[in-house]
């Protein structure tokens, strides 16, 4: 992702909701419990880690058992130290005390709790980029020193890879059509980092890289799930078994076509908040729905022109909620005027925004019935609401609105199937459409007619459109 291009806006839960989610995550809640458990007898090593002798007691305090109990307790303790929930009093003696930030858990504002969680997230992200224990043991020489060159591990590259994956996952979340969009298959996420955009059929080497990356992500998301960043379904262990080896607990034949068995992941609402915070800190423009609520209509219409439809509507709804309908309609209509290249799409967004406004806005629409740029959309709005005594538009206004609408859709969607259908319908309904359209006094007329020539499947009609485009351009230049 480029830090010069703004990302689509994301929908954020309230800070109060996010703070409650943060305190409920397994990792931070364990860190808080250990911070409260720590006392005069607690001892840590030189790096602030809990000494091995006290890990069983810490695990018991957390209600953990099994092979991973000590490791989970150690991780929770490290988060407590890193976030300031616990402070080392004497490094030589290894004594600790409750940190100043522990009180924020109960008495702090939601922003304070979220700051603690972000600190925990940084700790876990650093852990996720570290090779697993088996790899470290394999790379250890006879003297007990890890040979990092044998690991084929570049810490910066690993961190950059994980940041890229999380950035792509954030982008998919921002572009989703709704808050309940399904999780992303792990192979697709791995491929987004490995397969070049211009590669048609991936080579065997690239597919092997995708497979390796998928397994790496499986390990990393297992580490990231307890901090509440993601909802994660791991890769089915049966897929990692040898072909002639019966996986433990297998109840029947393995379905290799079930994509969910290859791992599924999505950001939680807390995860969206966390990744956005990191993107902002890194210099990215990462808007959130609601950022434009206190801006002018001109900023709203220009900004939402690049938003996905659902995000544009959500942003517009929040903007309208702060204004009286009549005043909002007048402000939107004023901002929609213009002959610049972005004006058609601005008017389309204006029309979409006005569709959310009630009948109280009718006087604002009546005021612009004679406006050459706004009169057409005003008539559409009034007619849709059954308003009486709306004068019929002139033929000139009808053609101008048609050109404006196609120009807006070209800007919004490019050569879409919907636009192709609109072009075919116009040409079929109006046999002399092109003979009249080239005369329309609209800055986008030549470009619209050229696009109609590209989009129409009938060669004869397409040729008529191109001729009309040439006439329109000559008229504007002459």
Q: How far is residue 446 from each of residues 159, 187, 282, 411, measured CA to CA in Å?
A: 49, 45, 42, 14
Name residue 140's beta-bridge partners.
146
Q: 130 or 5: which carries more pLDDT confidence?
A: 130
Q: How far apart are CA 369 and CA 444, in angstroms?
A: 22
Please determine, for residue 243, whether its predicted confidence score (pLDDT) is greater than 50: no
Q: What is the pLDDT of residue 56?
A: 95
Q: What is the pLDDT of residue 418?
A: 85
Backbone angles phi, psi at 66, to 5 degrees: 95, 180
Helix (H, G, I), strand (E, B) or coil at 95: strand
Please determine, for residue 249, whether its predicted confidence score (pLDDT) is greater than 70: no
Q: What is the pLDDT of residue 121?
A: 97
Backbone angles phi, psi at 350, to 5 degrees: -65, -45
Mean pLDDT, range 162-186, rounded to an integer: 86
The DSSP 8-state label assigned to residue 172 in this structure reads H
CB-based burial, 249-260: b 16+ in 10 Å, e otherwise = eeeeeeeeeeee
Contact present, 318 and 355 (Cβ < 8 Å): no
Contacts of 275 (CB under 8 A, 6+ apart): 166, 167, 169, 170, 229, 267
Task: Give the distance from CA 27 to its chain's centroid.
Answer: 24
Per-residue pLDDT reduced to its tens digit, 67-126: 999 999 999 999 999 999 999 999 889 999 999 999 999 999 999 999 999 999 999 999
Q: How far apart are CA 87 and CA 97, in angstroms?
A: 5
Q: How far is residue 341 from each of residues 10, 173, 335, 347, measured CA to CA in Å?
A: 27, 30, 14, 11
Mean pLDDT, range 333-338, rounded to an integer: 96
Task: Give the distance from CA 234 to its chain's centroid.
Answer: 22
Task: Give the distance from CA 413 to its chain's centroid.
Answer: 19
The residue assigned the tokens 């994509």 is 259
Mean per-residue pLDDT over the chain, rounded? 88
Q: How far apart are CA 149 and CA 158, in angstroms?
A: 14
Contact present, 318 and 293 (Cβ < 8 Å): yes
Q: What is the pLDDT of residue 3?
A: 46
Confidence of residue 258 (pLDDT cuts 50, 70, 90): confident
Q: What percent of the chain has pLDDT over 90?
A: 67
Contact present, 357 and 329 (Cβ < 8 Å): yes
Question: What does R_g of the chain's alpha carbons equal in angstroms?
Answer: 30
Q: What is the pLDDT of residue 469?
A: 93
**pTM of the predicted model over 0.85:** no
Name residue 233's beta-bridge partners.
264
CB-based burial, 38-52: b 16+ in 10 Å, e otherwise = beeebebeeebebee
Q: How far is residue 477 from each of residues 195, 401, 435, measured CA to CA in Å?
A: 46, 22, 19
Name residue 278's beta-bridge partners.
none
């Amino acid at each position: 992702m480029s830090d010069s291009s703004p990302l689509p806006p994301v929908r954020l839960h309230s800070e109060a909701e996010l703070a409650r989610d943060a305190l409920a995550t397994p990792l931070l809640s364990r860190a808080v419990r250990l911070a409260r458990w720590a006392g005069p007898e607690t001892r840590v090593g030189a790096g602030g880690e809990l000494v091995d002798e006290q890990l069983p007691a810490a695990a018991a305090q957390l209600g953990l058992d099994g092979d991973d109990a000590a490791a989970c307790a150690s991780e929770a303790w490290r988060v407590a130290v890193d976030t300031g929930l616990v402070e080392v009093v004497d490094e030589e003696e290894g004594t600790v005390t409750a940190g100043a930030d522990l009180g924020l858990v109960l008495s702090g504002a939601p922003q304070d709790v979220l700051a603690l969680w972000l600190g925990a997230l940084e700790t876990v992200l650093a852990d996720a980029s570290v090779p697993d224990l088996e790899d470290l043991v394999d790379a250890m020489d006879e003297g007990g020193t890890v040979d990092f060159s044998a690991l084929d591990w570049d810490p910066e590259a690993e961190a950059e890879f994980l940041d890229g994956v999380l950035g792509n996952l954030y982008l998919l979340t921002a572009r989703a059509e709704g808050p309940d969009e399904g999780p992303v298959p792990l192979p697709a996420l791995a491929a987004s980092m490995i397969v070049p955009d211009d590669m048609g059929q991936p080579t065997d080497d690239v597919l092997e890289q995708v497979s390796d990356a998928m397994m790496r992500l499986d390990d990393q998301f297992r580490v990231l799930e307890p901090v509440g960043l993601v909802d994660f379904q791991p890769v089915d262990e049966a897929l990692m078994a040898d072909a002639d080896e019966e996986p433990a607990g297998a109840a029947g034949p393995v379905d290799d076509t079930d994509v969910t068995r290859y791992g599924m992941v999505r950001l939680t609402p807390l995860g969206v908040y966390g990744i956005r915070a990191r993107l902002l800190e890194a210099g990215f423009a990462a808007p959130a729905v609601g950022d434009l609520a206190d801006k002018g209509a001109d900023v709203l219409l220009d900004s939402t022109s690049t938003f996905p439809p659902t995000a544009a509507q959500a942003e517009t709804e929040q903007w309208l909620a702060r204004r009286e309908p009549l005043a909002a309609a007048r402000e939107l209509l004023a901002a929609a005027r213009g002959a610049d290249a972005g004006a058609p799409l601005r008017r389309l967004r204006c029309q979409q925004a006005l569709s959310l406004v009630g009948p109280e806005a009718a006087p604002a629409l009546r005021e612009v019935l004679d406006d050459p740029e706004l009169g057409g959309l005003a008539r559409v709005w009034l007619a849709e609401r059954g308003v009486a005594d709306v004068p019929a538009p002139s033929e000139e206004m009808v053609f101008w609105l048609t050109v404006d609408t196609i120009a807006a859709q070209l800007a919004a969607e490019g050569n879409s199937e919907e636009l192709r259908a609109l072009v075919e319908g116009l040409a079929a309904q109006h046999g002399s459409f092109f003979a009249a359209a080239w005369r329309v006094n609209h800055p986008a007329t030549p470009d619209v007619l050229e696009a109609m020539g590209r989009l129409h499947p009938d060669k004869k009609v397409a040729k008529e459109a191109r001729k009309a485009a040439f006439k329109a351009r000559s008229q504007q230049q002459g």
